[in-house]
Structure 1
Amino acid sequence: MAQPLEGLTAIVTGAGRGIGRAEALELARLGARVVVNDFGQPGRAGTGAASAAPAQEVVEAIRAAGGRAVAHTGDVADHQQAGALVQLAIDTYGQLDILVNNAGILRDRMVFSMTEDEWDSVIRVHLKGHFNTTHFAAAHWRARSKEAGGPVFGRIVNTSSEAFLAGSAGQPNYAAAKGGIVGLTTSTALALAKYGVTANAICPRARTRMTEDVFAGFPAPQGGAVAKDGRPDPLAPEHVAPLVGYLASPAAAGVNGQLLVVHGGMVAIAERPRIAAKFDTAKEIFSYEELDGLLTPYFAERPAHETFAAAEVLGLKHD
């Protein structure tokens, strides 16, 4: 019986550890040939000497299981290196079919304390990194579609975060980058649909070196997604990977421009923002006094610290 991703080539960025590693292994298990990208820096802030070891270890694990994989250790936030990553997939396996953007770093700080470099570096790796690989993959699919005279197969799975949905007060750079990724995803979904390409974003919750502080109070059972004693770890990255495998598959042809939250055996589909209230001026143009008379009472009836963030939707609470 053919595997759902058999004959397809996938790139997974940031695949040396954590969620990206689980995704690369799952795509390979489903039959894809995988280009494992990881810059290999040991620090979650994007610091320390780069190493080829994390990417190569995942490649070896895929090969040991009977799959096909090759490593790429470039920086996806560098435009030329991102182009080289896409070209490696094409040169090695003939074409690119699936792009999973996962690479990222953290440099948390309150907005009043954050430095320019802390802002720029996180936006660069997350948002620009997603754009760079998407740009080259989209150009590849567009060229193939023109040559074929019709749609081709292409899948993009981007990585957003609940930090975007819930605000995340101590992560203005990260939340902004993850919100930008959702905008990039929906724009890409509209632009590439006619070429046969879908683009979706996920908000994964998992225990990785990126979230070790967030989930410090929730010790992990030993043994991965399901421990030897039968206790599941709802924060294991292995819970995220199957959704990525599905979105990368032919079965998900009708899923495009969506945002999905995933963790611990749960997948939630987020709705686009809806208008909560609407006010029209009684005159030709609003005045300050009229807006005061309309908006002040409206917001006075809502919770004092309520924001646009969707914390309540996901069962999260602000302090």
Structure 2
Amino acid sequence: MIRSTGETWIRVEDASAVGAARRVAETLAASLGFGVHECGRVALAVSEAASNLVKHAVEGRILIRPHARPAPEAPAVVEVIAVDKGPGMPDFARALRDGYSTAGTLGVGLGGIARMASKHEVYTLPGRGTVIAMWFTSGTPPAFQMSGLTRPIGEEIVCGDAFACVDGPGTAVAMLCDGLGHGELAAQASRQAVRTFQEHADLPPAALVERIHRALSGTRGGAVAVARLDRDSGMIRYAGLGNVAGWIVRADGRQGMISVPGIAGHQIRTLRDYEYAAPPHSMIIMHSDGLTDRWNIATFPGLTAHSPAVVAATLLRDAGTRRDDASIVTMKVTP
């Protein structure tokens, strides 16, 4: 189960943020049972990434969180995502070399980060910014096929949006809820949606959205969408209520999925499942209206080849608005 809990976003604009990011990462690693050496490795990599943001980036932020275990016996994973709107890296291969730096690229220490992380990915666009994702674990990092991010409005600590995902044998299911308004009351509605999803994730999407609608009675309510993917056939069943966008995304374009007007917990129309065929190597993306729907995947060359976490972080950075809570879920159609 993947859900939007335990996330810590840190704005990295001056040197004081480097220590804050390091402490959060080290504390999380220790709480997950990492040894002293592993905790130090996580802390050093995060310090390096944060220092790079301070020196070279614009609007730098770091997300630090535990990644859900695909199975109870799987090793714990610390996930770190550094996002910026800086100059990007025109010569990425050169930036991986130890000691390479320029005043205009995010490159210091990238080679060291690559060695310290159990797994890492970098997506960079010259003039638009860089996303660096790092995963730290004592074992082999799993191949992540689903991910999601939430980000609260402005300086709020609590996000009113939430998501949850289940990736089972041959079937993947994702739910996203945009709690009405902002702050704790919106978050209460979204948390209730997550709990209901966890209890009834095996239901068809429309039936599950109906259950969530009933469960949100007495809360502020929210917009809700559920997507169920059959990986063997590539068929998607989708049901959406309210202002949640659902897309089937290819490298060269996207297809919208239908959400009907309404507010879960308050106003609802008759729901039905809509079925779509997803081509191989496409992605399912759902997001709240905290992201504008005017993004164009064709302006992000090569992005769909990256992990769901990197795709989510890149779109949240470029399509997200600071005037609303924001959430996004991404799912690979073909493992």
Give yes or no for TM over 0.5.
Answer: no
Q: As a proportion of its length, which structure holds more helix?
A: 1
Please, what TM-score do these two structures have when normalized by structure 1? 0.29
Please, what TM-score do these two structures have when normalized by structure 2? 0.28
